[in-house]
Structure 1
Amino acid sequence: MSLITRNGRTVRITHDTQEALFATLRERLRHRRGFRLATVNLDHMTRIGSDARFARAYDAMDIVVADGRPIVWLSRLAGRPAQLMPGSDLVVPLARLATDEGRPIAMIGSTEEALQGAEAYLRAEVPGLVVAYRLAPPMGFDPEGPAAEDALRDLEASGAGLCYLALGAPKQEMMAVRGAALAPSVGLACFGAGLDFLAGHQRRAPRWMRVLALEWLWRALEAPRRMVPRYARCFAILPGLAWRAWRAR
């Protein structure tokens, strides 16, 4: 299904179920074929509608899944229900999948301390896990600059089959696009704060709040100056997205 922004740009959800997603990822990992994976949410939809570079990055994604209850609700409204697949919930299962296929993993983003914590967590959860490459870029890291090119070439040379990009949107999506040419055998998964959650550097909403679709409220209370304006923009575009999803039905 496709979500349509107010200026006519579209975002296509490529995989409706986790079963379909994992079948594709297993095939890609087994045959050493890279991919670019994004998890679309309402915040991304607001940015795609106003940022041409971000929109082009999403257009180049091989795999896009629904991250956030509003995206799932919109998919149902459009008559093409998609399963909820937040990036934070996929980190450990994808590490298991890569390990099952004999492929090491890599991590780029966040801070060195957070990456160390995330690696320790994943090693405890996934026996046999191999981490082939890890990089915490400095402040001001440019995903389109020479340092990013060097990092992607090093990533390809490391032999990793799966790399978590935790640079935040839109940097991680833009870097994933560059990886198609510079790290063609590596699957690049844009998972935002997923590694920070594993390391305990950010607190995720309690499960009961996630079940009740209140994770947005938790994050707003945790960081009101940053998150309240973001959610205000998200709520502002929701009626238009719902109308266009209904018409697409």
Structure 2
Amino acid sequence: MSKTQAPHAKNLTVDGVTVNVSSLDEAVSSIVEAAERGDNFSVCTLNLDHVVHLQQKPDFRAAYRRARFVTADGFPIVILSHLLGRPISRTTGADLAAPLCEAAGKKGLPIFLFGSDRPTLDKTAAELRKRYQGLQIVGTFAPGRNFDAYSAEADTAIAQIRASGAKLCFLALGAPRQEVFASRCIDELDGTGCLCFGAALDFIAGTQVRAPMFTQRAGLEWAWRMLRDPRRLAPRYARCAAAVPRLIAGTLPQILNARMRKAA
């Protein structure tokens, strides 16, 4: 049985999406508990690029609002949460992958890897089995370049995930495809949580290199990535920057109300 988000008055909400997980530890423990119960659920990590998609794509917005767990992947989201008085720490898909695999290995929660390409999935599976004793990777699926969440290919993928018995499915399709596919999976799988992980599998396989830790801590991971691939990422980050004023305007009433309640 899937559950939609239950907005909490104290949590930061963006376009109807509530960031309801405050830390990496809380995310891991909540996801593991849901997987052990045999729930269907999805996990999304909110960043500025996603905020842009939320404004423009109704299917993406609907998928996000169905997510059981939403973390903050992006320092503007983190900063706004502090202003609200409900501080959260940045938790990306890449941050979640390692501790979830460690927990899954210890608790016997089988994992399915979905997305990217066949060589990357093979490398990722081999690396994860090497790192985490007892981890069961029960299937992989590398979709075509134009994967559609409601296509015949998606039907095949869902059937394979279901047959594998996976309790967790790591989705590495990029937004908005992975979130829309995860939303469909909530209705059609049997006790599987779908986690929207973006480039996390590529980082594990070594086919992409994550930004150095000092840039992550300084909130400059986006700048490091853009310098490495400016042609592809500069337009995206320009759109993200343009979304900041609307994001602030949309959350300002929440922040002011929270501060007024605190002062009363």
The match for 2:204 is 198
- Distance in structure 2 (CA, Å) of the matches to 1:113 and 1:169: 21
Residue 57 (1) aligns with residue 63 (2): yes
Give the drift of 1:12. Answer: 0.8
Give per-residue Cα distances to partners, 1:80-116, cap 9 Å, x unaligned.
2111101111111111122222111110100111111
Give per-residue Cα distances to partners, 1:132-180, cap 9 Å, x unaligned.
0101112211111121122112211111111100011111001101111
- Distance in structure 2 (CA, Å) of the matches to 1:181 and 1:203: 34
- Distance in structure 2 (CA, Å) of the matches to 1:245 and 1:38: 19
Residue 164 (1) aligns with residue 174 (2): no
The match for 1:33 is 39
Task: In structure 1, give the amino acid aligned to 2:121.
Answer: L
Give the drift of 1:181. Answer: 1.8
The match for 2:126 is 120
Give the drift of 1:220. Answer: 0.6
| Residue number among 172, 186, 193 corresponding to 2:192 in the alignment | 186
Give the drift of 1:241. Answer: 1.6
Contact 1:77/1:245 (<8 A) preserved: no
Cα distance change on mapping 1:244 and 1:78 into 2, 3 Å = farther
Measured on the aligned residues, the alpha-carbon RMSD in Å equals 1.3
The match for 1:77 is 83
The match for 1:42 is 48
Residue 222 (1) aligns with residue 228 (2): yes
- Distance in structure 2 (CA, Å) of the matches to 1:83 and 1:212: 13
- Distance in structure 2 (CA, Å) of the matches to 1:26 and 1:193: 21
Contact 1:29/1:98 (<8 A) preserved: no
- Distance in structure 1 (CA, Å) of the matches to 2:160 and 2:80: 40
Quote the sequence identity (%). Answer: 39
Task: In structure 1, give the amino acid aligned to 2:174.
Answer: G
Give the drift of 1:42. Answer: 0.5
The match for 1:132 is 138
Indicate the SS of the match to 1:134: strand
| Residue number among 5, 17, 30 corresponding to 1:24 in the alignment | 30
The match for 2:4 is none
Indicate the SS of the match to 1:49: helix
TM-score, scaled relative to structure 1: 0.94
Contact 2:12/2:86 (<8 A) preserved: no
Unaligned regions of 5+ residues in structure 1, if any?
A: none
Contact 1:36/1:188 (<8 A) preserved: yes
Moved more, 23-32 or 133-142: 23-32
Indicate the SS of the match to 2:56: coil
- Distance in structure 1 (CA, Å) of the matches to 2:132 and 2:141: 21
TM-score, scaled relative to structure 2: 0.89
| Residue number among 9, 12, 23 corresponding to 1:2 in the alignment | 12
